[in-house]
Chain A
């Protein structure tokens, strides 16, 4: 089955700096790659997603890149703000099937 690896597990940056979180997946048939932000005790909140027919997607300060050949995708957050501090999860699925999550990255943005 699908396996998603996420790195780093923790990331600390200064306010205004960029943050990058990377994920790899094992099943080349996976075609949907969302990123979620989760606050303690809350449901995951979708922040951006990408499908396998594109290589990059951007939404204001957030971007995701996908390399299908290498089976990895990355989240890029620019101009980080303290409110970006949270746990971020990558995930992968195939044609709307089960969504498999990475291990999570705890991002801390220091003022």
Chain B
């Protein structure tokens, strides 16, 4: 089945530094990657949609200059949290439409998530 590998699984960084999170599709081409953040006991909130070779589309209220998304290849999308602050501490998770069932029977494959703690 479709697999999305996400790294790192946990990261602790100091305030003001930047952190990069990678999501890689291992056995399919992920032309589109979705990035979510999840606070404890809350739902997954869509942050942005990244398309290979083009600029990401950010949801309302998400700062594009703070959450930099790059989707340079069909198998790799990255999220960089710039100038991180404690309020950025959260669980970040990526998802890709796998399309293994064709244009009709698609599904979504999730990365394993990244727990970011900013101190």
- Whether, in the assembled complex, B44 has its beta carbon less than 8 Å from a beta carbon of chain A, the answer is yes
Q: Would A89 and B44 count as touching, CB distance under 8 A?
A: yes
Number of CB contacts from chain A to chain B under 8 A = 49
- Whether, in the assembled complex, A98 has its beta carbon less than 8 Å from a beta carbon of chain B, the answer is yes
- Whether, in the assembled complex, B93 has its beta carbon less than 8 Å from a beta carbon of chain A, the answer is yes
CB neighbors of B among A60-111 (8 A): 89, 93, 96-104, 106
Q: Would A98 and B91 count as touching, CB distance under 8 A?
A: no
Q: Would A96 and B95 count as touching, CB distance under 8 A?
A: no
Interface size class of A (residues with CB under 8 A): 20 to 34
- Whether, in the assembled complex, A44 has its beta carbon less than 8 Å from a beta carbon of chain B, the answer is yes
B100: shortest Cβ distance to chain A, in Å? 12
- Whether, in the assembled complex, B112 has its beta carbon less than 8 Å from a beta carbon of chain A, the answer is yes
Residues of the B chain whose Cβ atoms lie less than 8 Å from the Cβ of A32: 106
Residues of the B chain whose Cβ atoms lie less than 8 Å from the Cβ of A99: 34, 46, 95, 108
30 inter-chain pairs at a CB distance below 8 angstroms, sorted by A residue, are A32-B106, A34-B108, A41-B113, A41-B115, A42-B112, A43-B93, A43-B111, A44-B93, A46-B108, A49-B107, A51-B104, A89-B44, A93-B108, A96-B103, A96-B106, A98-B34, A98-B49, A99-B34, A99-B46, A99-B95, A100-B46, A101-B43, A101-B44, A101-B45, A101-B46, A102-B43, A103-B42, A104-B42, A104-B43, A106-B41
Binding site for A on B (CB under 8 A): 32, 34, 36, 41-46, 49, 91, 93, 95, 97, 99, 103-108, 110-113, 115
Known contacts A98-B49, A99-B46, A106-B41, then 13 further A-B pairs from the complex at CB < 8 Å, ordered by chain A residue:
A41-B91, A41-B115, A43-B111, A46-B107, A51-B104, A89-B43, A93-B108, A96-B32, A96-B103, A97-B49, A98-B46, A99-B108, A103-B43
Binding site for B on A (CB under 8 A): 32, 34, 41-44, 46, 49, 51, 89, 93, 96-104, 106
8 smallest beta-carbon distances between A and B, as pairs: A43-B110, A96-B97, A101-B44, A101-B43, A96-B106, A103-B43, A104-B43, A43-B112
